[in-house]
Structures are given as structure tokens and as C-alpha cells.
Structure 1
Amino acid sequence: MSGPVSTVDASADQADTGHPEPPCLQVSDSREATVGTIRVRRALPRRGRRTVGAWCFADHMGPADVTENSGLDIGPHPHIGLQTVTWLTDGQVLHRDSLGSEQVIEPGQLNLMTSGRAVSHAEEATGHYRGTLEGIQMWTALPENTRHSQPAFEHHAELPRTDLDGQAGAATVLIGDLGGLASPARHDTPLVGVELDLRAPATVPLRPDWEYALVVLQGAVAVRDKPLHPGRLGYLGEGRDELPLDVHEPARVMLLGGEPFPEPILMWWNFVGRNREEIDAAHASWARQDDRFGRVASSLPLIPTAAPYWQRASGDR
């Protein structure tokens, strides 16, 4: 599920971040791609909308059929400057990383890996699960004061959950807090990530000083009579204190929001940095396989990549 981000998703121009908008519904199509062996629909980043709060990446994965020994099959690959937030709606995935973590994630559980200055990980078949696999992996950009810190990993088997408007549905808080209900997961900037399980129209409390977006995983909802289906990002802007949602059919929806991210970022491959020199240094370390990214105890092959396109264009490599 991890990356890679290309110039199709977001240009290398830091000005192409997108500014917070007043209350709106801007709908953009996700880009279909294959990551490992699984089809994904990449809702974020998009050209002109690189971040929503600190959220800078959202891949809706599957649904796909997997076996005990063949699933995501994403070999060891590196990250800098971000957190990976992994959430399944169906199936199981085995996470391994260079910190020595080995964790099976199941629906209703959260994997959160903070890359800091450097980490590597793999996402694999579990060795025992056969069936359907579906979920979403998201990234948050780390702020200046923590993006050079040591990497970390945490797994949360239980998360806070609350009913919405009686029997209309429920909200599970993956990260941050919603209406005073707080997740135990780490977050380095003011933000929120919530799964909404909706069966009838409901109203979700928001913060007017934050910007928000919706990613529909299953079913269909509408904002002010404008429909939103899987395969699209619905950017909501800022300035709302609540979000009424109509439900056209039972739906599972990710609500992503946060304080507008104050720092321009540069995204390339699996890296979130601030300038090309940082990306160049990270790529060089991965290509050399020096000690920066550590080692992952995985039987899958390392994922290589060519040098950043700006190096190739300038003839540096």
C-alpha cells in the first residue's frame, strides 16, 4: 500500500500544495494504480491539492483476493518525513519494519509507523489468511520539529467508537479526536482521521479552523445533494462546525482533517521532504543500502527505483 508518489500525482513544485478553501465540495477523481500486486485508487495527493491538514496521501486498496502466501507482496522500501496510517476494512496484512516490528493487522485495528529521519518496511501475506483484502493506507507529513527524529511503530487493537445520531451510524477515531472522543495514536500536528460507518443521514461535528476531506470506501453519500462515491476525493474546505451527510446507500467513509499544514513539502517516491537535496540524499542511501534505513527481516526483494527525474534530466546520473 505504500506509495510510490510520482509527478502524475503531485508535481515537484512546492507551490502546487493547494490552499485552504471556504466551505465547498470539490470532487476530484482518484488515480488507479497497482502497488505490489493490488489495485489501488489514489485519492491524495492530487495536482493542486497535495495536503488536507497534514494528510498528504490516501490509497484505497482493493477489494482483492489474496491467499496465505500471496497478498500485497510489497517488499522492503524506505520512508522519510512521514507517518503511515494503515486501516483495513477486510482481511489481514503482515507488517515488518527495520525497527524489528512484526505485526498482523486486522479490520478495526490501526498500524501507525513514524518514519522520522528514516525507516523501511514491508507489507506481506500473513501465511494463514485467505480471502478478501480491502483497506486504506494514508500518510501524514511530519512537521519540522519531528521529521528528523528517530523512527517509531505502534499498533492499536482497540480504538474509541461512538454512535452518530442514534442509529444512523458510528464513528471510529483512528487518530486525533472527534467531539471530545480521542484516539491513543500519536499525531505530531493537529489533525483527525475517522472512519464513518453510515446507515442513515447523520451530522458530524467539525472544527471551523480546520480543513477536511472525504474518501468513500464503500457505498455512497452526498453533501448538499452532491453525491460522492468510491474512487473520488471530496474536499470540503474549512469554516464548517458540522457536516450533514445524506446516505444514498450504506457507506464506509474516511473523514480526514486538520489544521492547514504550514510548511511547503516536496513528495517523490516514498519520501516527504522539503527540497530536492533531501530527496537526493535519501535516494542515494537507499541505492547504496547503507545503514540509514536499516534492514527488514523479509523474504521479499528490496524495491529499487531510478534516481529522481531531475537528476536524470540534468545528466547527474
Structure 2
Amino acid sequence: MSNLERDPVELLCAADVPTGPVVQVLEYREVPLGGPRAMPVRRTLPQRGRTTIGAWCFADHYGPDDVALTGGMVVPPHPHTGLQTVSWLFEGEIEHRDSAGSHELVRPGSVNLMTAGRGISHSEVSTPGTTRLHGVQLWVALPDASRHVAPFFEHADTTPFAVGDATVRVFVGELAGSATDAASSAVTVFSPLLGAQVDLPAGGVVELALDPAFEHGVLVDLGPVRLEAAGADEATEVAWSELAYLEPGRDRVRLTAVDGPARVVLLGGVPFGEELVMWWNFIGRSHDEVVEFRRRWQSDVIDRNDPDGPFGTVSGYEGRPLPAPELPTVRLKPRR
């Protein structure tokens, strides 16, 4: 998914140092995604004070949206560098095309992971038969040693399994403390990560083992949820679309569905120890590098100077690629 903000903020994402309470609740900001009537998404990462959770560096939560009212998802070809996109749906269907030659449908229960590496472009459009669209779009920052890999795409089905009262689907990485093969995902990652959907019936309770080397995030899709983290003095209630952050050192978390059925997306990873420069759809390591990414995209793809350049061509999409916004007029300064 593209960042379609007209004036995307250029961010220096320093290595976050866990501070403050065991559980920190992060609120979302609403961003119009696009389409004829601008489908809204709720963004919880990145934000001031918390730019990453492990290598997870971007989280958009959307729906359930009536496609007849919002126009659905219509994201023309756009570029990415230095990251992986993870598409995960609860409802609906999205057609994915990319310049590596991939053409796949994103459906509930299956994960689509695209590794941009040194550069890729892709489009995402909800299919004509989709009446409701509901899911999350996530980005993973690639570590410096892997960020120039050749781009590629993976699609994998997941298998639900029971933990306590919950039904769990792991779509990235591995859930700690589980002996079932379904608790790990086959898709490729370049740093230790976890991504999972956890569903609870009304009044249901689950205690999940956590890798204490990881920091974790709990994004509530259906809630509220009462969260009790190991080491915390009291429970925390996390409302719909909020993201609860758990610092490293926690080896378990207990989730309770408070007012009805609940669903959360559990994210985790080893704290990302590298500084990132994030602007629009690019992740680099310096202001000048991001400027060069934008120049190549505008020159090679938008101006058609080299359609076989690093971002390639998205075959099968009828329409123009997405031009990049204008860059900031000042150089990047560290956010304190």
C-alpha cells in the first residue's frame, strides 16, 4: 500500500529506547488512502515517540468499509525501497500486481509479502466483487545488510490453531512457546519478527507466551481488550484501533475480550538498532539517498526515461503510475 499523503513527513527514525511504563497505548491518526471518495485508514506507526516495533515500521488499519461508499482501494503503481510490505485482510479481496512480474489476490487467511529491496513498484486495487474491505497494511524495515536484495514476492496460506479460548493465525515469524507447525510462517524475513491474528469469543481469555527478547505491539481490530502484561502492576484496557506497546523483557501477555468478541493483531520483533530515513514510500539511511530514490522514480517511470530501470513496470494495470510528492524544502533534522 502506498502512503498517499500530499505532504508526507520526512522522519529520522532513531533506534527507539524503551522507556516509561510496561504498557504504552498509542492512538491512531486518520489518513485518506485514495479512491474516488478517499477510503480512510487509521495509522498507528510511525508516530512521535514510537517509530518502530522490532522492524515493523508502518501500520495502517482500515475498515470495515462499505466499498460502495468509499470507492474501495485504488492505489496506482508506486515505488518502494528498503522495506517489505505485509498485506493481511479480515474481509474483502485485493488484486496485487508488481514490477517483479507477480499477480496475486490478497484474501483473508493468506498473507502477501513483497520484498522491495533495492527497488520495486506495485499496484493494489480491491476487486469488483468486494463489497466490504477490512484489514491491515504493514511495513517491515530491512536491515542495512539486506536492504539492497533483489525484489521478490511471496504468498502463503495460514492455518488457524487454538490457544486457550483464542483462535490464532501466524502470518509472519513464529509464536513463542507453541509446539504446532501452524505457529510459524513460511514467508521470508530478514530480522526476528512475529505477526499474528488473535480472535477471542465474548468473555474469552488467552495467555500467550512472548519472546522476552522482543518488543511487542497489540493492535485492536475488534474490542476493547483488557491486556495484562507480565511485570505490570495493573491491567490496561485497549480500545478499538489503539496499539498497545510492550517493552522487551515480557515473557507473557493475557488478553480478555471485555464487551463482546475481540480480535487483535500481535506484532513483535527484536528492537531495530538502526536509524532510518522514511519519506513517502521510501526507506533509506540519509536525506540524499531518499532524494535519489525520488529522482529515479520521477525520471524513469513518470517521465518514461527508463521504464526498465530499478522500479520497472507493473504489467496489467491500466492507468498512470503515482507521481511522488514534492520533497521538503529543508534537510532532515533528527526528531527528539
Normalised TM-score (structure 2): 0.86
Cα distance in structure 1, aligned partners of 2:61 and 2:267: 13
Cα distance in structure 2, aligned partners of 1:173 and 1:312: 40
Contact 1:81 1:148 in 2 (8 A): yes
Tell me which residue corresponds to 2:232. Answer: none
Instruction: Give the Å deviation of 1:47.
Output: 1.1
Are 2:249 and 1:215 aligned? no
Cα distance in structure 2, aligned partners of 1:189 and 1:4: 27
Instruction: Give the Å deviation of 1:23.
Output: 6.4
Alignment of 1:93-108 (within 5 A): 93-108=94-109
Cα distance in structure 2, aligned partners of 1:122 and 1:241: 39
Tell me which residue corresponds to 2:231. Answer: none
Cα distance in structure 1, aligned partners of 2:122 and 2:273: 28
Contact 2:223 2:261 in 1 (8 A): yes
Cα distance in structure 1, aligned partners of 2:220 and 2:191: 24
Cα distance in structure 2, aligned partners of 1:35 and 1:312: 26
| Letter aligned with residue 162 of structure 2 | D
3-state secondary structure, aligned to 1:283? helix
3-state secondary structure, aligned to 1:13? strand
Are 2:245 and 1:227 aligned? no
Deviations 1:104-146 (A, max 9, x none): 111111100000000000001324x131110001000001121
Are 2:326 and 1:300 aligned? no
Cα distance in structure 2, aligned partners of 1:6 and 1:236: 32
Are 2:154 and 1:154 aligned? yes
Instruction: Give the Å deviation of 1:312.
Output: 8.7
Tell me which residue corresponds to 1:20. Answer: 18
Contact 2:55 2:271 in 1 (8 A): yes
Cα distance in structure 2, aligned partners of 1:300 and 1:20: 44
Contact 2:13 2:51 in 1 (8 A): no
Tell me which residue corresponds to 1:176. Answer: 173
Contiguous gaps of at least 5 residues in structure 1: none
Instruction: Give the Å deviation of 1:22.
Output: 7.2
**Structure with the larger strand share:** 1
Tell me which residue corresponds to 1:44. Answer: 45
Tell me which residue corresponds to 2:121. Answer: 120
- State the identity as a percent: 41
Cα distance in structure 1, aligned partners of 2:67 and 2:120: 26
TM superposition outliers: structure 1 runs of 4+ over 6 Å: 5-8
Contiguous gaps of at least 5 residues in structure 2: 229-234
Deviations 1:198-247 (A, max 9, x none): 12011011011110011111122012432112222211111111001121
Cα distance in structure 2, aligned partners of 1:162 and 1:242: 18
3-state secondary structure, aligned to 2:62? strand
Deviations 1:153-181 (A, max 9, x none): 0111x21432111xx11111011001342
Cα distance in structure 1, aligned partners of 2:153 and 2:219: 25
The total of aligned residue pairs comes to 305
Deviations 1:270-316 (A, max 9, x none): 01111111101110011112312001121132111233204699xxx
Normalised TM-score (structure 1): 0.91
Tell me which residue corresponds to 2:29. Answer: 31
